[in-house]
Chain A
């Protein structure tokens, strides 16, 4: 394993911020990245095969934790000789340690979002410089995997998200063996994200969403680590016995059924992530925060699987409470393909 500091920046009244990477690779003659003496291999002897990035936002703790576990796992696999010769796998568990140490989602200095500054600019403003330095090191990999989070306060089922265009096709999301692969049509908002810019530079990009963000969830982390190893195995980058995971259901995000509350109040969820619900099933209640009365019973407009569930205790009128993967994919959504779990199973 080769541990490197990719970028370092002076900070007022703090130690320098460092973005660290951990690279794994073995040459056909057995030399290793980060090896000692004659056993040392250089990065330019390898194909840049896969890159994992997490912690671009300071509250993406679960994402950093998952990457840390991947580093640990890859160290073992490297020692066992299970990494395919000539392929470099790089992991950046935390791209924004300064904000993470402040327990702050966006940049500590000016609250801008590093993941809205890609591909960055080395002579620009602070977060443009951070983004620029990060992107300079992660571009050019064949596969790029970003652990990200949504702004919505709620939980998602572990899933893979793929953007439609630009760049090369990214049809291998099912190789993670997670239950869902969602396809997202990028808006103007998305054009300065890591995922979008990876695609622009011909990296096959995937964004992984896990249940938690600012809390650590071991079960979800373990599932994500297994998914990443499964992907690396399927793409020929490691040689390790992996279970097949799930047969992924691929759908367009536009096909998700949004369930909104129609009243503001205290939100009391009834259904959980992954629940299979029928049309009309009770999903949640909205309570009057002063009188305790039930103001609204939130029900499923159609049958499906609970994919997103609101976690905030207080909701405004029209807050997104749930997203359901519908039982049947609508015909008018050309991007989708079948394989839905049987909701009755």
Chain B
């Protein structure tokens, strides 16, 4: 059932609405809903990150096919920033603000802060929640979950069941306090941040992979009694094991590796090219043996542009 989570009147004959689709077990009494376990699947905080769209669709489709297995509540929020999603715009179009810096929001503040507060209030209390991101238009990511170190203990058991390739436990930066995930975790509502694919595109296999993971989580939470796919065991890392490759020249980046697995230390990842002169301006190599989990997608680079992230691993450690 489509429900409106938050609604504010815009200037010209239109309400700005954040919606969710609530799926409940067949025959569940309204009064019993409060007692059922609940999963919240969230996407579209950044309007240019669309990978979650297919995951949302796929989860809803599979539940619609077998509603008899549903034993808890599934809330699907496909677009928390509807203006941005519709306009291919990362932030909130009217203000050029990053919506994932205004949580937990505040009622009686600006419409967007109030909207953030409405969203947090609606999700709070869920058994588990996922905030699905798609990096940005510049970088492509292997399916991964990012966990703030302050929430590691609570979130790791969930992350291990989510069928991603990789779990990155990162440091607690102060600016992250404005994110939806931080706000929900602070309210004791576990929230996993998923990063996968690339901005403005859909990657079917990643969407299906994560949907499998979501059904695994639903099973763990007592929301799904049907069969689930066997999940892969993710590699877990902390900040110190991740190496960064940045451009030092301005030009056009041409990758020399595929974004699907291991690279060796010193292996060429790509080149920065000068299109006018035909010269190679910079050769970029991997800082370590390991898993290439981030690779630049957008070709134009400046000095400092992120090209790749590599998780250092010994050759005996496997990659799913």
The residue of chain A having its C-beta at the shortest distance from the C-beta of B249 within the complex is A10
Digitize B154-195: 1 where CB-to-A-CB distance is under 8 Å, 0 elsewhere: 000000000000000000001111100000000000000000
Within 8 A of A (CB), among B66-102: 90-91, 94-97, 101
A224 interfacial by beta-carbon distance below 8 Å? no
A315 interfacial by beta-carbon distance below 8 Å? yes
**A124 near B11: Cβ-Cβ < 8 Å:** no
B57 interfacial by beta-carbon distance below 8 Å? no
Question: Which residues of B lie under 8 Å from residue A266 when comparing CB positions?
Answer: 11
Residues of chain A at interface, number, CB under 8 A: 39
Question: Which residues of A lie under 8 Å from residue B96 when comparing CB positions?
Answer: 105-106, 151
B263 to chain A minimum Cβ distance, whole angstroms, is 20
**A125 near B12: Cβ-Cβ < 8 Å:** no
**A289 near B12: Cβ-Cβ < 8 Å:** yes
**A12 near B250: Cβ-Cβ < 8 Å:** yes
**B9 near A319: Cβ-Cβ < 8 Å:** no
**B177 near A188: Cβ-Cβ < 8 Å:** yes
Question: Which residues of B lie under 8 Å from residue A260 when comparing CB positions?
Answer: 108
Question: Which residues of A lie under 8 Å from residue B95 when comparing CB positions?
Answer: 151-153
B40 to chain A minimum Cβ distance, whole angstroms, is 23
A11 interfacial by beta-carbon distance below 8 Å? yes
- Interface-located stretch among B20-28, B202-210, B233-241, B300-308: B300-308
Q: Compute how far the CA of A317 lies from the CA of B6 in the bound complex, rounded to whole angstroms.
A: 12
Which residue from B111, B176, B250 sits with its C-beta under 8 Å from A316?
B111
Q: Compute how far the CA of A140 lies from the CA of B183 in the bound complex, rounded to whole angstroms.
A: 35
List 6 other contacts, CB 8 Å, given A264-B12, A289-B11.
A11-B302, A110-B136, A110-B138, A127-B304, A187-B178, A314-B11
**B11 near A264: Cβ-Cβ < 8 Å:** yes
**B11 near A125: Cβ-Cβ < 8 Å:** no
The residue of chain B having its C-beta at the shortest distance from the C-beta of A16 within the complex is B250
Known: A124-B246, A189-B101, A289-B12. A129 touches B303 (CB 8 A): yes
B114 interfacial by beta-carbon distance below 8 Å? yes
B interface bracket (residues with beta carbon within 8 Å of A): 35 or more
Question: Which residues of B lie under 8 Å from residue A129 when comparing CB positions?
Answer: 303-304
**A188 near B11: Cβ-Cβ < 8 Å:** no
Q: Compute how far the CA of A129 lies from the CA of B301 in the bound complex, rounded to whole angstroms.
A: 14
**A126 near B305: Cβ-Cβ < 8 Å:** yes
Digitize B102-113: 1 where CB-to-A-CB distance is under 8 Å, 0 elsewhere: 000000111100
Known: A10-B249, A289-B13. A318 touches B304 (CB 8 A): no
Question: Which residues of A lie under 8 Å from residue B110 when comparing CB positions?
Answer: 318-320
B16 interfacial by beta-carbon distance below 8 Å? yes
Within 8 A of B (CB), among A157-189: 187-189
The residue of chain A having its C-beta at the shortest distance from the C-beta of B138 within the complex is A110
Question: Which residues of A lie under 8 Å from residue B97 when comparing CB positions?
Answer: 151
B84 to chain A minimum Cβ distance, whole angstroms, is 12
Digitize B40-70: 1 where CB-to-A-CB distance is under 8 Å, 0 elsewhere: 0000000000000000000000000000000
- List 8 A-B residue pairs with CB atoms under 8 Å apart, sorted by A's residue number: A125-B246, A125-B306, A126-B302, A187-B178, A188-B176, A189-B101, A289-B13, A315-B11
**B177 near A317: Cβ-Cβ < 8 Å:** no
A116 interfacial by beta-carbon distance below 8 Å? yes
A109 interfacial by beta-carbon distance below 8 Å? yes
Q: Compute how far the CA of A314 lies from the CA of B93 in the bound complex, rounded to whole angstroms.
A: 14
Q: Compute how far the CA of A320 lies from the CA of B108 in the bound complex, rounded to whole angstroms.
A: 10
B1 interfacial by beta-carbon distance below 8 Å? no
Q: Compute how far the CA of A264 lies from the CA of B10 in the bound complex, rounded to whole angstroms.
A: 5
Question: Which residues of A lie under 8 Å from residue B12 when comparing CB positions?
Answer: 264-265, 289-290, 314
Which residue from B9, B101, B136, B250 sits with its C-beta under 8 Å from A263?
B9
**A189 near B11: Cβ-Cβ < 8 Å:** no
A186 to chain B minimum Cβ distance, whole angstroms, is 10
Q: Compute how far the CA of A265 lies from the CA of B8 in the bound complex, rounded to whole angstroms.
A: 12
Q: Compute how far the CA of A188 lies from the CA of B306 in the bound complex, rounded to whole angstroms.
A: 25
A128 interfacial by beta-carbon distance below 8 Å? yes
Q: Compute how far the CA of A3 lies from the CA of B111 in the bound complex, rounded to whole angstroms.
A: 46
Q: Compute how far the CA of A319 lies from the CA of B178 in the bound complex, rounded to whole angstroms.
A: 21
Within 8 A of A (CB), among B100-136: 101, 108-111, 114, 136
B103 to chain A minimum Cβ distance, whole angstroms, is 10
Question: Which residues of A lie under 8 Å from residue B10 when comparing CB positions?
Answer: 264, 314, 316-317
Among A187, A290, A316, chain B packs the most CB atoms within 10 A around the CB of A316
Within 8 A of A (CB), among B182-233: none
